[in-house]
Chains A and B, each alone.
Chain A
Amino acid sequence: MRRLHPAVTALAMVTYLFLYIPLVAVAIFSVNATRYGLSWKGFTMQWYTKLIHNEVILNAAWNSLVLAVVSTIIATILGTALAIGMDRFPWPKKTRTTLDLILHLPVVVPDIIFAAALVVAFGLLRMISSLFQPGLLNMIIGHITFQVSFVALVVRSRLVSIGRDVEEAARDLFADTPYLLRRVMVPLLIPGIVAGAMLAFTLSLDDFVISFFTAGPDSVTLPLYIFAAVRRGVTPQIHALSTLVLLVTVSLIIGMERLTRK
């Protein structure tokens, strides 16, 4: 590899600092003993222990988890089926283009517009049924909608890369569709399905906008809680919570990388 101009290295370092200084500051102030102000008053873990006793935060963490797990499970099943359906059947060219367009919609539509559309749609549905009060159900529906596309796209690329030889061999040996799925396709697709599911899970945990528009008073998630709290003013407890969220994110990414790199 060629040598870099020192200015390039310097700029790259500045950029890394730019990305990480805010996050490091959050972590540092999460163990700072003072409640107000930004002066260093010694190390403490009290903000972390206080988190465990905060009902509201525990509830928000629980909501985030339920939302992410439920929406990921449903989105993974739907997305995988969608990918197989699109890749393994002889759709006419026009149909395929239309299907492709619909599949990419959740990826290209700005999330705030999608969120606004959901607000209006659920608002109108509420006239028919009280089931669609702002809350966890609406959030799950919203999350699945954008997750499905991402799962389908990841699984589809795996479908393309494994090719169809093994499937054809199975068919030649008179495997029926359920058997083919269970014994041939799913085992071959598993890395893609897992990668898609982890992507969907991270997207759900990370989402703010869709949740913000569809959440009710009882379904506050961690990002929503942090947002509301910092608008009132930052506290060391929020720093502690954010640091924990950060650590979870980092371990998820490392896990995801380990799985997909193999």
Chain B
Amino acid sequence: MTRFLIWYGELTTQRRLLTRGLQFLGVGMLWILLFLVLPGLVLVVVSFVTRGSYGQLEWTFTIENYKRLLGFSVFGWTPDYIVILWRSVWVAFVTSVIAVVLSYPLCFFICSRPERTRYLWLMLVIIPFWTNMVIRTYAWFLILAPEFPLARLAHFLGFIPANTPLYPNAFAVYIGMVTIFLPFVAMPLYASVERLDWSLVEAAQDLYASKVRVFFQAILPQTIPGLSVGIILTFVPAMGMFVVPDLLGGAKYMLVGNLIEQQFGASRDWPFGAAVSMGLMLLTMVSLYLYRKRHREMQLV
């Protein structure tokens, strides 16, 4: 039995409607399933197989790759890979914190500009957001070059020998990471700061709240929506970042992104690379989960 229904002015049946809906979204969905979901599942499978001596895949199933990721090898236990994973989380964390700390003054500054120029100042944050990551990263080569004050200062303080650039090292990685991700925090945060209800801030000041207290109790809670979007937009991609540590950290400050790239590039060890990717995926999912959990708590408050 067919039941007719009126769907926004059209006399049709449920089945016909859904068939048409499927025609619309079918190809797009199929595309994502075929080229993202399916390869993702294949990657999971590959993380459990063995690498042949020429880098080919041998279909004997093992958890060897994961044991190796945790540091177990024939030579005993080493924390190398765990250190790299932990370092990636740490770098992502520090990057997010610095980006947040710098974004607040930036957003307040933009909001304080008169209507005419405010858009221009905002645009100056949007432009780096869209500028190619490789260019923005390598640009630091120039600023950190031995001829420039930063490297001279570092030499003067005894951190580096004379006539050497201030990269590759951990410091350069942090600098690069913050430049890349700062707009990711500033843009969503700006949306929140713009809508800030200043009467609450004034009320806090009228009641003689200290400046710190005004910030944490009158400003911060109001900007949480933008702030949390910004943090998640920074933290997750920062963990898997590959360009910045490759160019500015070199072998001295390797992150999980470089480790993955190495396995699919020079080492040609796909199974281990797949296992490392699963490690990164796990870290991503844990941080998204924690974010959602905290977010819900905050909404309850």
Do A and B assemble together? yes
Known: A2-B198, A109-B36, A208-B133. A231 touches B8 (CB 8 A): no
How far is A252 from B28 in the complex, measured between Cα atoms in Å?
26
Check B281 against A113 for contact (C-beta < 8 Å): yes
How far is A168 from B204 in the complex, measured between Cα atoms in Å?
51
Tell me, yes or no, whether A197 is within 8 Å of chain B by CB: no
Check A145 against B132 for contact (C-beta < 8 Å): no
* A-B pairs, 9 with minimum CB distance: A85-B25, A85-B24, A171-B9, A89-B21, A22-B139, A82-B28, A12-B109, A121-B39, A110-B240
| Interface membership of chain A positions 21-45, coded 1 if the CB is closer than 8 angstroms to chain B and 0 otherwise | 1110110010000000111000000
Chain A proximity of B268: nearest CB distance (Å): 10
Check A12 against B106 for contact (C-beta < 8 Å): yes
How far is A233 from B132 in the complex, measured between Cα atoms in Å?
18
- Which chain A residues numbered 70 to 105 have a C-beta less than 8 Å away from chain B? 78-79, 81-82, 84-86, 88-91, 99, 102-103, 105
Most chain A CB within 10 A, of B42, B134, B237, B260, is at B134
Check A148 against B135 for contact (C-beta < 8 Å): no
How far is A144 from B34 in the complex, measured between Cα atoms in Å?
12
Tell me, yes or no, whether A160 is within 8 Å of chain B by CB: no
Chain A proximity of B30: nearest CB distance (Å): 9
Complex interface: stretch among A46-54, A55-63, A187-195, A222-230: A222-230
Check A23 against B141 for contact (C-beta < 8 Å): no
- Taking residues whose C-beta sits less than 8 angstroms from the other chain, chain A's interface range is 35 or more
Known: A21-B143, A119-B270, A253-B126. A108 touches B288 (CB 8 A): yes
How far is A23 from B134 in the complex, measured between Cα atoms in Å?
12
Tell me, yes or no, whether A128 is within 8 Å of chain B by CB: no
CB contacts (< 8 Å) of B134 on chain A: these are: 208, 223, 226-227, 230
Instruction: List residues of chain A with CB under 8 Å of any chain B CB.
Output: 1-4, 7-9, 11-13, 15-16, 18-23, 25-26, 29, 37-39, 78-79, 81-82, 84-86, 88-91, 99, 102-103, 105-106, 108-114, 116-121, 123-124, 141-142, 144-145, 148-149, 152, 164, 167-172, 177, 202, 205-206, 208-209, 212-213, 222-223, 226-227, 230-231, 234, 238, 242, 245-246, 249-250, 252-254, 257
How far is A99 from B108 in the complex, measured between Cα atoms in Å?
39
- Taking residues whose C-beta sits less than 8 angstroms from the other chain, chain B's interface range is 35 or more
Q: Which of B140, B237, B281 contacts A111 (CB 8 A)?
A: B237
CB contacts (< 8 Å) of A120 on chain B: these are: 39, 42-43, 46, 270, 274
Check A89 against B20 for contact (C-beta < 8 Å): yes
CB contacts (< 8 Å) of B124 on chain A: these are: 16, 19-20
